[in-house]
Structure 1
Amino acid sequence: MSFRHIVVAVAAVLSAAACSTSTAGQAQPVPTVTKAAGPQLVVGTLHVALPVGAKYTTRTDDGLLDGCISEGTVVCEARLLDLREATSDPNAPINLPSAKRPFGWYTGTDVPTCITAASPPGQAAVATGSNLLESGFAPVGPKKAEYGRWQVTCEDETQNNQVRMWWLPTSKILVVQYGSFPGWDDKMNTMLAGATFS
């Protein structure tokens, strides 16, 4: 694909994103799919192509970076997690993802933290608030996920950010995007639009 074709494809994605608005309870628009050239990733039954230059950390000794997608100097821009095992254990300390609760993107039972480009897991400030901005359903490949976007406030105000979540309750796949901004939103939308399932 030539540079010109890439620019046209990116412009189409940006144009589609700029023309869409959403309100609570409405479905999210289907993003334009461009061919991804990054590494292929399988998480549970979900198959995606990572953005070019991104990498995925399956597991770390401390568990802080499990399921993280990173790019450049940012160690955890998003998480892709298979929650089948955790949700099948009635004694597991987990809150199911939900756009119906303030910290619905956070599955832990402790205090949520503000993960951003400057504050990776383990170094993030405590989250003090989580206001739902958008909710509804959004595509993940051929499936529809419960979707939410929250404005998160933090003890350290420089870490205030937006968090996006896609939850597939049947497949038990959770996708969380931290520190949302338009460029990374487009990459996430493209990656998830091209997803397949096995």
Structure 2
Amino acid sequence: MSFRHLVLVVAVILGVTACSTPTQNPPPAPSGPKAIVGSLHLTLPAGATYTEHSPDGLLDGCISEGTAACEARVVDLRKADPGAPVNLPSTKRPFGWYTGTDLPTCITPASPPGKAAGATGSTLLDSGFAPIGPKNAEYGRWKVTCENSAQNNQVRSWWLPTSRILVVQYGSFPGWDAKMDNLLAGATFS
């Protein structure tokens, strides 16, 4: 057998082997409950729920797990009532995560909207940019003091000004912070 024939045989064997080698399948897409807010698509952790609209309006846009009524809220400000005054999210002001013009309440897993005491102060602890999927959001973390000091907590927010989507995490604590960061890292947009 000549060298040419040997090269041809090896090439054919390699070609057949390459064609018969199984291909790697991509990892399965996350398969939990979904939350779609405007163009933002989130796959929630197993056991979590998303309340697009609640009968009383207090839990609109809430993400919850277990007994917590509202651990985080996802809001599309393009759908806000055009006649209602709105403060755009900003790390440049106290209560910068709060879009209302009245005094915010101290929402925590133990004190959901409608049952929370009024907030008395807020101090910005951290700010900058943080990812929501492929986008960078304006990020802030505040220490919030409350009329009922048992409800003092930290609040985190992510603001996408072009999409006008706001994500607010109430009652921040390390375990939920990590879940929230993972949830937002896996976000997609349509």
Calculate the TM-score normalised by the size of structure 2: 0.83
Within a 5 Å distance, the mapping from 1:3-14 to structure 2 comes to: none
TM-aligned CA deviation for residue 132 of structure 1: 0.1
Tell me what 2:17 maps to. Answer: none
The reply to whether residue 176 of structure 1 matches residue 176 of structure 2 is: no
| TM-score computed with the length of structure 1 as normaliser | 0.79
Conserved in 1, the CA contact under 8 Å of 2:45 and 2:183? Answer: yes
- Aligned residue number for residue 137 of structure 1: 129
Aligned to 1:78, which of 72, 77, 92? 72
* CA–CA separation in structure 1 for the residues paired with 2:144 and 2:35: 29
Task: Report deviation, 1:60.
Answer: 1.4
Show the counterpart of 2:114: 122
- Larger-gyration structure (1/2): 2
User: What CA distance in whole angstroms lies between the structure 1 residues aligned with 2:186 and 2:91?
Assistant: 23
Q: Which residue is 1:148 aligned to?
A: 140
For structure 2, the residue ranges without an aligned partner over 5 or more in a row are 1-28
For the pair 1:40 / 2:34, whether they are aligned, the reply is yes
Query: Which residue does the alignment assign to 1:165?
Result: 157
| Identity between Structure 1 and Structure 2 (%) | 73
Quick one: distance in 1 between partners of 2:158 and 2:30?
20
1:187 maps to what in 2?
A: 179
Residue aligned with 1:75, SS: coil
Choose which of 85, 90, 94 in structure 2 pairs with 1:98.
90
Secondary structure of 2:179's counterpart equals helix
Deviation at 1:38, TM superposition (A): 1.7
Unpaired runs of at least 5, structure 1: 1-34
Matched, 1:59 2:53: yes
- Following TM superposition, by how much is the alpha carbon of 1:37 offset from its aligned partner in structure 2, in angstroms? 3.6
Contact 1:84 1:172 in 2 (8 A): yes
RMSD: 1.5
CA 1:36–1:190 in 2, change beyond 3 Å: closer, same or farther? farther
Q: Deviations over 1:92-127 (max 9, x none)?
A: 221111111110011111111000011100000000
Query: Which aligned runs of 4 or more in structure 1 are off by greater than 4 angstroms?
Result: none
